[in-house]
Chains A and B, each alone.
Chain A
Amino acid sequence: MSLLSVEGLAVAYGDSRVLWDVGFDMAEGEIVALVGANGAGKTTLLRALTGLVPVRGGKMRFAGADLGPLKPYERARRGIAMVPEGRRLFAGLTVRQNLKLGATARPDRAGEEDDLAFVFQLFPELKRLEGRLAGLMSGGEQQMCAIGRALMARPSLLLVDEMSLGLAPVIVDRIAEAVRLVNRERGITVLLVEQDVGLALEIATRGYVLDTGRITIDGPADDLLRREDIRAAYLGLN
């Protein structure tokens, strides 16, 4: 039984079409990578899933419900959380305030403190910096805070947009490890949207390649990593 299924999704901004007939499935507990070059439509796909852009056609079903008529905040309350590209923390609020705001969508108030403790355990620097204004932290710390904020909603589906962008390799490794851990220990299904194709396919179990608005290739992550065309086009290897 798939947690998320997308069929025939089409999105356009005015006259310019961005996504054509996009379809994919995610089973519960999976980590799926959605990779592709800059401008392929990856972020638009996430915006369609979260309801931030109107769709021209297609069906999106999440946990048995049609997402179509639901507003972004309603989708969040049903268990879809997103780590947006560029983090987009509330810069003028503290780390703790950001994390608490992430908990708005959660179904139960009771587990909030436990989840806060879990986030602090995952990223101990957030505990140390909890009183700091989010806008004054380094990029890596901000990314940790953004992931923590999304986790505070206790989502069943976590969408991560460009988690590695602009971060040092050592930070990227830690964040990747945190994503794996969250998936393994909390059973959160993860959709990774990445320009860093190698990284995403290493973490994921399955992958989809989005090319100029269409899904062109899909399969198990290991197979995709071995394919000559993907190595040549996205990994710079021959």
Chain B
Amino acid sequence: MLWQATANGLLLGGLYGIATIGFSMVWGVMGVINLAHTGFIMLGAYITYGLFRFAGLDPIASIPVSMIAMFALGYALQVLVLNRIIRTSLLLSLVVTFGIELVMVDAVSIAFTSDVRSVNSSYAASSIEVFGILVPVVRLIAAGFSVTLGIAFFAFLRFTRAGQMILATALDREVSSLMGINPERIYALTAGAGAALAGATGSLASMLFPVMPGMGVTFLSAVFVITVLGGIGSVEGCIVAGFIYGLVQAWAGYFLGANYQEIVGFGLFLLVLALRPQGLFGRAFFGEHA
């Protein structure tokens, strides 16, 4: 049973990792702690639910839809709202993003009520057995997609011109602008990409968890812990820290009981802050905000 718990933890860990990448990037690149991030996760889940329920679309096929829709929303919010307040104060960006999160949750509550929904794909209940461990197919899919998207985003930052412009702006906004890079456009691109990953997270989460307006917020503590554990702004840090967090939670549940999962999770958070505040992988890219 310990092996079962370990497998469950690792499978969930992938999803936690990708849930965090966008949040961590936005924090690292522009110094904004975006509390609306978990709202994008929730909206992504509702997009998948809606397309499944009303159009019969397979949840996996709806991932690109979630990503594109959340990219557009994240980009627009950055251009219309966040770019105007980003240079003012941390408190203001916290308040504004928290407000945006509330609006999203309330809008969904009005549209879909706060009833619990679920996405029951044809393969929702099937699982495969490996060495006596039962691996639910949807969890395997979620973990596989998460890691793939994480690696794709890592490659985007490292190997494309747009990705390099994001890193450059994170490292030194002023010098980047001397190089012809428009920081506000880069911030919008970063916010859009971060929201797109959150949207994908929501689509995957809808296959694993009940879909409801408050589901995004349940990711918030994991997202914070993993951001700090992996190092702010570090994509590879998010992926590895996601697995660590998933494992720690699963083991806490197995050895201590489900009630202790959150406590152990936050204990890990405090431990990292006390012992290694720069995160496991050090500062991600010598960034201004990280």
* Interchain CB contact under 8 A, B182 and A71: yes
Question: Is A88 close to B, CB under 8 A?
Answer: yes
C-alpha gap A162/B232 in the complex (Å)? 34
Instruction: For A90, list chain B residues within 8 Å (CB).
Output: 167-168, 171-172, 175
Take A90-B172, A93-B171, A135-B286 as given contacts and tell me if A101 and B179 are in contact as well, using a CB distance cutoff of 8 Å: yes
Give the residues from 41 to 88 in chain A that come closer than 8 angstroms, CB to CB, to chain B: 50-52, 71-73, 76-77, 81-82, 84, 88
* Interchain CB contact under 8 A, A101 and B165: yes
Question: Is B126 close to A, CB under 8 A?
Answer: no
Take A76-B178, A76-B179 as given contacts and tell me if A100 and B164 are in contact as well, using a CB distance cutoff of 8 Å: yes
Instruction: For B179, list chain A residues within 8 Å (CB).
Output: 73, 76, 101-102, 104-105, 149, 153
Question: Is A181 close to B, CB under 8 A?
Answer: no
Question: Is A167 close to B, CB under 8 A?
Answer: no
Which listed residue (A50, A92, A93) contacts B178, Cβ 8 A?
A50
C-alpha gap A90/B176 in the complex (Å)? 9
Question: Is B264 close to A, CB under 8 A?
Answer: no
Q: Tally A-B pairs: CB < 8 A.
A: 68
* Interchain CB contact under 8 A, A73 and B183: yes
Question: Is A97 close to B, CB under 8 A?
Answer: yes
Question: Is B132 close to A, CB under 8 A?
Answer: no
Instruction: For B174, list chain A residues within 8 Å (CB).
Output: 52, 72, 88
Instruction: For A82, list chain B residues within 8 Å (CB).
Output: 178
Considering residues B175, B178, B181, which has the most beta carbons from chain A within 10 angstroms of its beta carbon?
A: B178
C-alpha gap A100/B161 in the complex (Å)? 8
Instruction: For B171, list chain A residues within 8 Å (CB).
Output: 90-93
Instruction: For A101, list chain B residues within 8 Å (CB).
Output: 164-165, 168, 176, 179, 181
Chain B at the A interface: mostly helix, strand, loop or mixed?
Answer: helix
Nearest to A107 among chain B residues (CB) is B180
Question: Is B281 close to A, CB under 8 A?
Answer: no
* Interchain CB contact under 8 A, A91 and B286: yes
* Interchain CB contact under 8 A, B167 and A93: yes
Give the residues from 90 to 149 in chain A that come closer than 8 angstroms, CB to CB, to chain B: 90-93, 97, 100-102, 104-106, 135, 149
Nearest to B284 among chain A residues (CB) is A92
Take A91-B171, A93-B171 as given contacts and tell me if A72 and B177 are in contact as well, using a CB distance cutoff of 8 Å: yes
* B233 → A minimal CB distance (Å): 11
Instruction: For B219, list chain A residues within 8 Å (CB).
Output: none
Instruction: For A105, list chain B residues within 8 Å (CB).
Output: 179-181
Which listed residue (A73, A135, A149) contacts B177, Cβ 8 A?
A73
Take A73-B180, A73-B181, A77-B180 as given contacts and tell me if A88 and B175 are in contact as well, using a CB distance cutoff of 8 Å: yes
Which listed residue (B164, B180, B182, B183) contacts A93, Cβ 8 A?
B164
C-alpha gap A82/B179 in the complex (Å)? 8
* B189 → A minimal CB distance (Å): 13
Nearest to A90 among chain B residues (CB) is B171
* A97 → B minimal CB distance (Å): 6
Nearest to B173 among chain A residues (CB) is A72
Considering residues B176, B177, B181, B182, which has the most beta carbons from chain A within 10 angstroms of its beta carbon?
A: B177
Question: Is B154 close to A, CB under 8 A?
Answer: no
Instruction: For A84, list chain B residues within 8 Å (CB).
Output: 175, 178
Question: Is B285 close to A, CB under 8 A?
Answer: yes
Instruction: For B167, list chain A residues within 8 Å (CB).
Output: 90, 92-93
Give the residues from 242 to 259 in chain B that come closer than 8 angstroms, CB to CB, to chain A: none
Instruction: For A71, list chain B residues within 8 Å (CB).
Output: 177, 182
Nearest to B165 among chain A residues (CB) is A104
* A88 → B minimal CB distance (Å): 5
Instruction: For B285, list chain A residues within 8 Å (CB).
Output: 92-93
C-alpha gap A138/B183 in the complex (Å)? 29
Instruction: For B177, list chain A residues within 8 Å (CB).
Output: 51-52, 71-73, 76
* Interchain CB contact under 8 A, A88 and B164: no
C-alpha gap A81/B178 in the complex (Å)? 7
Give the residues from 75 to 112 in chain B that come closer than 8 angstroms, CB to CB, to chain A: none
Q: Could you list 13 examples of A-B contacts with CB < 8 Å?
A: A71-B182, A72-B174, A73-B177, A76-B178, A90-B168, A91-B171, A93-B164, A101-B176, A101-B179, A102-B179, A104-B181, A105-B181, A106-B180
Apart from A71-B182, A77-B180, A104-B181, what are 19 other A-B pairs with CB-CB below 8 Å? Answer: A51-B177, A73-B178, A73-B179, A73-B181, A73-B182, A73-B183, A76-B177, A76-B178, A76-B179, A76-B180, A88-B175, A92-B171, A92-B286, A93-B164, A97-B164, A101-B165, A102-B179, A105-B180, A135-B286
Residues of B within 8 A of A (CB): 161, 164-165, 167-168, 171-172, 174-183, 285-286
Kindly list the 7 A-B residue pairs having the minimum CB-CB distance in the complex, ordered from nearest.
Answer: A105-B180, A76-B180, A72-B177, A92-B286, A92-B285, A104-B180, A73-B182
